[in-house]
Amino acid sequence: MSIFVLGGGEHMLAFVTQASGEKGQLPVTMVPLAWSPLGAVIGDNWQRVLVDEDNVSGWVDQTFVPEDERAFLAPLGELDLLRRVGWKDEVPERLSEEQILNLGDLPDDVIDALGSPMLPIARCAACRRSCVKDEFIWQERQLCAWDWHRSVFGRRGPWRTEAYNRAQFSGVPAAGYVVPPLAEEAGAETLMLLGRVDPELAYDAVSMLMERLGDGSYITVSTDTGWVLLRERA
């Protein structure tokens, strides 16, 4: 299987598996993209649009506008060559480096994302950035990683000065992961990164640390890979 990437940007990547279509309409597959502090993410829920074959470059220019900092456009000369040889292939179910005829036209962070699993993509309720669905939810709002860190570790975050009891501990904020530099920017220092141990043990470790460290405001986060204890920066 082979595909040719036309371009991409903040929210989407567009590719074709043929260089011309029926009645001059070229089928283009639109793949959702999101950006996280860990890199780019390829979304599921691909869509197909039809683009006038004589205006592919115009369509690409309008779709991936220069105002979009993530925009990249592939030179389309190769597509003309592919048209001449009657190139046509199946639309793959997922993307991989090996399929992409013009891999060199893609930014490195998109190439890095190709091997990772496809994930559902949503929009951040605060900034409208594309982000991984359900990875960062705060007060029932879908947020991007950046806004989640700002909300949870900012002045109005769920800081606590008292020791947790076990019931309170089962209700600590949950998220995909914590990025210590983003927490730092928001006003929190990371004290402990704990792997995926059971909640009883995590509770004991957190309680012991909070007790020994004494005065301060703390937040524990339950993540996909374990537990993180942070303290509000004085």
**Residues engaged in binding Zn ion (CB under 5 A):** 124, 126-127, 129, 144, 147
Taking the least distance from each CB to Zn ion, the nearer of 140 and 162 is 140
With CA atoms as reference, report the closest residue to 176 among 137, 129, 120, 203: 137
Q: C-beta of 63: minimal distance to Zn ion in Å? A: 22
Compute CA distances 100 → 17, 63, 82, 233, whole Å. Answer: 10, 20, 13, 47
Strands 47-52, 25-36: pairing is: antiparallel
Beta carbons within 10 angstroms of residue 66's beta carbon: 9
Q: C-beta of 141: minimal distance to Zn ion in Å? A: 10
Taking the least distance from each CB to Zn ion, the nearer of 129 and 160 is 129
CB 76 within 8 A of CB 60: yes
Return the amino acid letter for 39. Answer: G
Write out the two tokens for 226. 């374990």
Cα distance between residue 15 and residue 105, in whole Å: 12
Taking the least distance from each CB to Zn ion, the nearer of 79 and 145 is 145
Q: C-beta of 51: minimal distance to Zn ion in Å? A: 30
Q: C-beta of 40: minimal distance to Zn ion in Å? A: 16
């942070």: which residue's tokens? 230
Q: C-beta of 178: minimal distance to Zn ion in Å? A: 16
Q: C-beta of 128: minimal distance to Zn ion in Å? A: 7
Strands 174-175, 218-223: pairing is: parallel
Taking the least distance from each CB to Zn ion, the nearer of 79 and 124 is 124
Cα distance between residue 55 and residue 28, in whole Å: 13
């890199």: which residue's tokens? 39
Taking the least distance from each CB to Zn ion, the nearer of 24 and 37 is 37
Taking the least distance from each CB to Zn ion, the nearer of 53 and 185 is 185
